[in-house]
């Protein structure tokens, strides 16, 4: 009888096809397929704990203007009630649905870029320099949280070293879950992962994970930021531009094409990068000449041209990897 039960259990488990990526330390697993449908699913020991994390994902979405009141569905295995799966598709922000489990074809998109795209400060996935990351964290778009403040879903956590160098960036959802891409190489996936695990990978001691400003005692520290999207910031400030400019939109188009090549690389698409490389130097010159007039322009206009400058500098690094990629 016992053997029959064992056989029956193994039959039931084997009939559920999961593609599983394990989180390091929490009990929540991120699953790619459930009952024959691919998507983004949380798998854990109870619907109560999964719904708690789902609520954090919903709040993340709301923090970047993607609010939803959709309900979530959580199924538990009829026999082993601790084997539960929750579908996040109706509450997840677009970036999670688009990028979870994904790896680019060409190296470049990294953690800093992922956290800036997740915060809607940048629109497209590509390489981000540490200078670009640092710029945005110190810009009016991002406000550092005081160490007494509660960390909220959607906050950007910047991991720095003692010399104040940027080391890593990720999106906080909860103490159990973060969204990140751990590395610039194409082998690193975008994924939800255990927050403690992220801090461990980068050697941030528990007492150093929520620091305001710098720290003499922490070799690695986490600074926490609440950030506003570029569109929201620019809507309020574009009136301060002394003259119209479409440069940001032109860079958007170049970044969009570059990003599409990164995720669908082939000889033809890489050849098309020629148009981007031709334009990029001209834009860099234009941004520099406008910044040289910085004393005569508003703070918002200065930010507009600095944004262009950092975007172009990072795109140049990314384009080099595309051009020399083995396609």
In terms of CB distance, is 12 or 313 closer to other proteins? 313
**Any idea what DSSP says for residue 90?**
T
Only one of the segments 183-191, 225-233, 273-281, 287-295 lies at the binding site for other proteins (rule: CB under 8 A); that segment is 183-191
Q: Does 89 bind other proteins (CB under 8 A)?
A: no
Question: Of the listed pieces 46-54, 82-90, 282-290, 318-326, which binds other proteins according to CB under 8 A?
Answer: 318-326
Q: How far apart, in Å, are the Cα atoms of 185 and each of 51, 167, 188, 294?
A: 33, 15, 6, 36
Contact string (CB under 8 A) for other proteins, positions 239-258, x = contact:
--------------------
Residue 284 CB neighbour total at 10 angstroms: 17
Q: How far is the CB of 220 from other proteins (least distance, A)?
A: 12
Residues 141-170 that bind other proteins (CB under 8 A): 166-169
CB of 320 to other proteins, least distance (A): 5
Contact of 85 with 74, CB cutoff 8 Å: yes
Instruction: Decide whether 123 or 130 has the Cβ nearer to other proteins.
Output: 130
Among 183, 215, 232, 263, binds other proteins (CB under 8 A): 183
Tell me how far apart the alpha carbons of residues 139 and 265 are, in angstroms, rounded to a whole number: 33
Min separation Cβ 191 and other proteins, Å: 13
Alpha-carbon distance of 23 to 291, in angstroms, equals 45
Q: Which is nearer to other proteins, 58 or 168 (CB)?
A: 168
By C-alpha distance, which of 262, 258, 270, 257 is closest to 327?
270
Question: What's the burial of 153, exposed, middle or buried (CB within 10 Å: 0-12/13-18/19+)?
Answer: buried
CB of 119 to other proteins, least distance (A): 16
Cβ closer to other proteins: 36 or 326?
Answer: 326
The only residue of 23, 171, 182, 290 in contact with other proteins, by rule CB under 8 A: 182
Measured CA to CA, the distance from residue 167 to residue 53 in angstroms comes to 26
CB 22 within 8 Å of CB 9: no
Q: Judged by CB, which is closer to other proteins: 188, or 195? A: 188
Report which of 242, 316, 309 is spatially closest to residue 277, judged by C-alpha positions. 316
Query: Counting contacts by CB under 8 A, is residue 199 touching other proteins?
Result: no
Nearer to other proteins, 63 or 128 (CB): 128
Which neighbouring-strand residues pair with 44? 84
- Residue choice 205, 241, 291, 317 for contact with other proteins (CB under 8 A): 317
Q: Which of 185, 218, 225 is nearest to 199 (CA)?
A: 218
Residue 313 in contact with other proteins, rule: CB under 8 A: no
Beta bridge partners of 160: 166, 221
CB-CB contact of 238 with 299 (8 Å): no
* 188 near other proteins (CB under 8 A): yes
- Candidate residues 23, 107, 195, 290; the one interacting with other proteins per rule CB under 8 A: 107
Give the residue among 231, 260, 268 at the shortest CA–CA distance from 108.
Answer: 260
* Site of interaction with other proteins (CB under 8 A): 106-108, 110-112, 127-128, 130, 166-169, 182-188, 201-202, 317, 320-321, 323-326
């Amino acid at each position: 009888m016992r053997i029959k039960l064992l056989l029956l259990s193994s039959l039931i488990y084997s009939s559920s096809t999961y593609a599983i990526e394990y989180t390091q330390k929490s009990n929540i697993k991120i699953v790619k397929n459930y009952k024959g449908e691919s998507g983004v699913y949380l798998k854990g020991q109870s619907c109560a704990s999964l719904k708690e994390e789902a609520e954090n994902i919903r709040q993340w979405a709301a923090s970047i203007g993607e609010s939803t009141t959709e309900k979530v569905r959580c199924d538990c295995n009829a026999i082993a009630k601790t084997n539960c799966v929750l579908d996040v598709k109706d509450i997840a922000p677009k970036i999670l649905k688009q990028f979870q489990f994904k790896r680019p074809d060409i190296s470049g998109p990294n953690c800093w870029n992922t956290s800036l795209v997740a915060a809607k400060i940048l629109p497209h996935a590509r390489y981000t320099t540490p200078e670009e990351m640092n710029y945005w964290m110190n810009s009016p778009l991002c406000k550092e949280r005081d160490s007494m403040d509660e960390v909220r879903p959607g906050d950007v956590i910047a991991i720095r070293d003692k010399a104040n160098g940027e080391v890593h960036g990720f999106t906080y959802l909860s103490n159990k879950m973060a969204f990140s891409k751990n590395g610039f190489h194409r082998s690193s996936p975008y994924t939800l992962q255990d927050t403690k695990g992220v801090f461990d990978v980068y050697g941030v001691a528990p007492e150093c994970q929520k620091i305001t400003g710098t720290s003499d005692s922490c070799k690695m520290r986490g600074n926490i930021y609440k950030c506003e999207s570029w569109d929201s910031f620019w809507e309020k400030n574009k009136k301060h531009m002394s003259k119209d400019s479409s440069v940001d939109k032109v860079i958007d188009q170049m970044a969009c094409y570059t990003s599409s090549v990164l995720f669908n690389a082939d000889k033809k698409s890489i050849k098309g990068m020629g148009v981007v490389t031709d334009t990029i130097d001209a834009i860099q010159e234009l941004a520099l000449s406008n910044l040289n007039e910085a004393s005569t322009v508003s703070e918002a206009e200065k930010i507009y041209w600095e944004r262009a400058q950092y975007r172009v500098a990072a795109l140049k690094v990314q384009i080099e990897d595309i051009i020399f990629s083995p396609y």
